[in-house]
Chains A and B, each alone.
Chain A
Amino acid sequence: MNRLRMEFEKGPEVAFVSHLELMKLFAQAVRRGDLPLAWSEGFNPRPKINFSSGIATGMTSREECLEMELTEVIDPQDVMNRLNQTLPPGVRIHRVRKLEDNPKSLMALLQYGDYRVTVPLEEIIPARELEEQVRLFLARESVLWTIRSPKGIREKELRPGILALQARLEPQQLVLDWMLKSGSEGNIRPEHATEAFLEHSGHRAAGPLQLDKRAVYGERDGQPTKLFDL
């Protein structure tokens, strides 16, 4: 068996591709590259490509992780090069490594996500005031956010999942860099955190939020570590 872990980018050209469509996209690229992808057994064989989590529709991602199993041993660099030739515009693999024994799945290893949210603004916020709003926001013990889903309305506690927030102003937009809890043990969505901050600070977005995931992390010795490197 040949298990490879790859770090790839989902660029602006494919921002609107959903997660399921992204999975299909990779399977097709593998087939175009004539790579010997492993398939699951059973009634409905699926390609053995796994991700750490779904990337939301509309979100770009700089350093996303996936794992792929091939039925033959092929030089990882070779696999990466071949895939980069067949992948569609906007998707690119940056790093690849071979996995030795049976590590935990990416989904299980995922702990944090680093997100950059760009908020279009019509108002002007003085830099001092913004600093203060961030400080007050992070000083709160509780940040409750109302989530509407097909299952109904519920309140979610966001604060413990917010590890860091940095904010800066740019012409006509506010840029928020979040470090948020991510994965199966708890997941904070950057849109929710952002909307909660905007409500807290009394500002309104003048248009849709732009979401860009900049990195994914697991944990080693209690420290956030890039998922690829685990």
Chain B
Amino acid sequence: MKEYILNHILPRVEKPVRYAGGELNHIRKDWASVDVRFLFAFPDVYEVGMSHLGLQILYHTINREDNLLMERTFAPWMDMEALMREEGIALYGLESFQPARSYDWLGFTLQYEMSYTNILNMLDLAGMAALAGERTEEDPLVIGGGPCAFNPEPIAPFFDLFLIGDAEEMLPRLLQEYARQKKEPGFSKEAFLQSVCAMDGVYVPRFYDVTYGADGRMAHLKPNRPQAPATVRKALVKDLETAPFPEQPIVPYMDIIHDRVMLEVLRGCTHSCRFCQAGTVYRPVRERSADLLTRQAKTLIKATGHEDISLTSLSTADHTQLTQLVRNLLDQYREKNVSISLPSLRIDSFSVGLAREISSVRKSGLTFAPEAGSQRMRNVINKGVTEEDLFKVVEEAFGAGWNRIKLYFMIGLPTEQEADLEAIVSLSQRVLDRGKQIARQRGSRQKVSVTFSASSFVPKPFTPFQWWGQNDLETLQAKQRLMKSKIKNKNLVFHYHDARLSQLESVFARGDRRLAPVLLRAVQKGCRFDGWNEHFRYQLWLEALEEEGLDVRALASRCFEKDEVLPWDHIDAGVRKSYLYREYQNAMEEALTPDCREVGCTACGICPDWNVQMELKGSPHE
């Protein structure tokens, strides 16, 4: 099959290197020599999936066990899919070109709700039934992980199990347990699932029944097997210092979105921004030491030859040993044309000083995320940054020679008024004005530009705003138009995205199992790559929802009551629901909650309830 694909199919598609495999550091094992064959399926195209650090971590973690094997597959682009269907070629793994259905496990990473159609499409391309209940003992076990696994209900019927939380310790354990049991007589998938369903992070949806009240709200989500726990605790890697990391990442030939070494410097965040799910579900904060990271960087550059090291995390500037780490890396790589980058900067002068040190000759733009335009709004979302902070930072940036600044905002936040929207534009405009002034003073004639983008807020599970309903579509669109109308200067550029996509994201983010048939219909109608503007078919989604008797507006903008059963209540991410509700109330009062790293415990619950603590390697910044 491989020969046929390489010679007869790939020459006829765009970017054939997506489907060819063979990259440096890929791992091929003899199928007969391993106990378990796992196919990692990323539900988007190759170049997006190969930027995903999680894939590299798990690829390394699983493959380093002699008796386990992990290969990769990605969503084929439309042209390749058409040829595959025409010529009867099933979805295959890039390493061995074996069909997906011949693996023991098929794992999807759930990065984004609007990738769900790709998941179902890939199951179809694999020749597998979408519903887990219709698959047989001959089919691979289908598992899902990643951030959206924290509310897996909309896709629960399609999966055999989910792994919620940190996967790098739990997944190999699961697979080894499977390897062991598989050899025993009387093995069945059901028996295996029963034996693992109480392990941390494991959620087997078919072991839970959901009932709904007459009012349409969820009534219960309860176990139907004695082995299944009422609550599923997320998997947590306690010590990041000793956790596996990819020592020889696969080096794609293709120019991928992030063509660089990714060093995960820490996990978790304590800023408690109220819109942010990742900040909640990845607690507690766990850092890797500067020494370890320096050694890891060396290993990774030697294994890959990349030009850039990215210090990645939710908020890298918070790392307590960042200065030391950056100095080490600069010393190691200054002569070798390897640059260092931080994905985003905290709004304080420390960050800009740091950025100055690490930027290469060419100053590309600097990015900051004020998230809201007015102080009131920032207090509501608990992003305590002041205008003074922001201006101090941008002044330093412009003074140091940066000409392009990017500002990230959100619209549609709880309690938002027109004045808050105007504040976004006005703030961005004033940053631009200040930049031009400083450039003039410096005698520079380079053009200064400010780009600000406003994404439409989607309330997410496990955040204080999880009870709050999204602005309706017309409101979001009107807000976008309003902001556009306020822009006076052509060097102030405004980016925004299709609000209809954000609306659907909201439907699925806080949805329950009744959405699964909607997904099936949407895929059957041809929806895929919804996150790609040119392929998003809103009309088809509306049809799919209508055919299931569901109203997109009601779902996207639904408000939950305080004591209502939420579709993710059976999952324990560590942070208490009562804390989240208290934070919701604080938001309405515009009260700030400080960072527990700096001021002391704010009682989110995870440390006492789970007997864990923050792992900081240095002392917190002042």
| B513 in contact (CB, < 8 A) | no
Contact among A12, A25, A34, A207 for B8, CB-based, below 8 A = A207
A90 and B302 form a contact (CB under 8 A): no
Name the B residues within 8 Å of A39 (CB-CB).
337
Q: Which 6 A-B pairs have the closest CB atoms?
A: A28-B305, A208-B11, A31-B305, A88-B24, A32-B305, A16-B16
Q: Which of B11, B301, B304, B338 is in CB contact (< 8 Å) with A209?
A: B11
B251: CB under 8 A from chain A? yes
User: Could you write out 25 A-B pairs with CB less than 8 Å apart?
Assistant: A12-B6, A16-B16, A16-B17, A17-B17, A20-B255, A21-B17, A24-B253, A28-B24, A28-B251, A30-B305, A31-B338, A32-B302, A32-B305, A34-B302, A39-B337, A44-B361, A57-B16, A58-B11, A88-B22, A88-B251, A89-B24, A120-B8, A207-B7, A207-B8, A208-B8
The CB with the most chain B CB atoms within 10 A, among A28, A45, A90, A210, is that of A28
Q: Does residue B254 face the partner (Cβ distance < 8 Å to A)?
A: yes
Asked if B12 is at the interface of the complex by the 8 Å CB criterion, the answer is yes
B10 with A43: CB separation less than 8 A: no
Q: Which residue of B lies closest to A12 (CB)?
A: B6
- B251 near A16 (CB under 8 angstroms)? no
Cβ 8 A contact of B255, one of A24, A90, A120, A207? A24
> Which residue of the partner chain A has the closest CB to B23?
A88
**310-369 of chain B: CB within 8 A of chain A:** 336-338, 361-362
Question: Chain A contacts of B126 at CB under 8 A?
Answer: none
- Distance in angstroms from A72 CB to nearest chain B CB is 12
B253 contacts A14, C-beta separation under 8 Å: yes
A50: Cβ under 8 A from any B Cβ: no
Q: How far is the CA of A42 from the CA of B504 in the complex (A)?
A: 47
Question: A18 in the interface, Cβ–Cβ < 8 Å?
Answer: yes
Contact B11–A28 (Cβ < 8 Å): no
**Does A86 touch B at the CB level, under 8 Å?**
yes
The answer on a CB contact under 8 Å between A29 and B305 is: yes
Given A21-B255, A31-B301, A32-B305: A15 in contact with B337 (beta carbons within 8 A): no
Least Cβ distance of A209 to chain B in Å?
A: 7
Instruction: Name the distance in Å between A156's Cβ and chain B's nearest Cβ.
Output: 22
Q: Does B20 contact A (CB under 8 A)?
A: yes
Known: A18-B17, A32-B304. A43 touches B6 (CB 8 A): no
A73 to chain B, nearest CB (A): 18
Complex Cα distance, B12 from A216, in Å, reads: 26
Known: A21-B17, A209-B11, A210-B7. A28 touches B22 (CB 8 A): no
A17, B22: Cα distance in complex, Å: 11
Q: Which of B7, B20, B305 contacts A208 (CB 8 A)?
A: B7
Closest CB of chain A to B79's CB: distance in Å? 14
Note all chain B residues with C-beta closer than 8 A to A24. Answer: 253, 255, 259
| Chain A residues numbered 106-147 whose CB sits less than 8 Å from any CB in chain B | 120
Chain B interface category by residue count: 20 to 34
A window 61-92: CB within 8 A of B: 86, 88-90
Cβ of A27 < 8 Å from any Cβ of B? yes
B182 interface contact, C-beta 8 A: no
Of B6, B17, B22, B302, which one neighbours A89 at CB under 8 angstroms? B22
A20 to B256, CA, bound (A): 13
Q: A28 contacts B304, CB within 8 Å? A: yes
Contact string against A for B residues 291-317, beta-carbon threshold 8 Å, 1 for contact and 0 otherwise:
000000000011111110000000000
The CA of A57 and the CA of B255, in the complex, are separated in Å by 14
Q: Is B253 touching A21 in the complex (CB atoms < 8 A)?
A: yes
Could you tell me if B305 and A15 are in contact, using CB atoms closer than 8 angstroms? no
Are A21 and B22 in contact, CB atoms less than 8 angstroms apart? Answer: no
Interface centre among A34, A39, A58 (most CB of B within 10 A): A58
Nearest chain A residue, comparing its CB with the CB of B4: A207
Cβ of A14: which chain B residues have Cβ within 8 Å of it?
22, 253
Q: Which residues of A contact B303 (CB under 8 A)?
A: 32
Q: How far is the CB of B305 from chain A (nearest CB, A)?
A: 3
Which residues of A have CB within 8 Å of B336? 31
Is residue A170 contacting chain B, with contact meaning CB distance below 8 A?
no
Complex interface: chain A residues within 8 A of B12 (CB): 208
Interface: A13 (CB within 8 A):
yes
B307 CB contacts on chain A under 8 angstroms: 27-28, 31
- Which A residues are in CB contact (< 8 Å) with B259? 24
- In Å, the complex CA distance between A12 and B21 comes to 11
Q: How far is the CB of A174 from chain B (nearest CB, A)?
A: 15
* Complex contact A21–B254 (CB within 8 A): yes
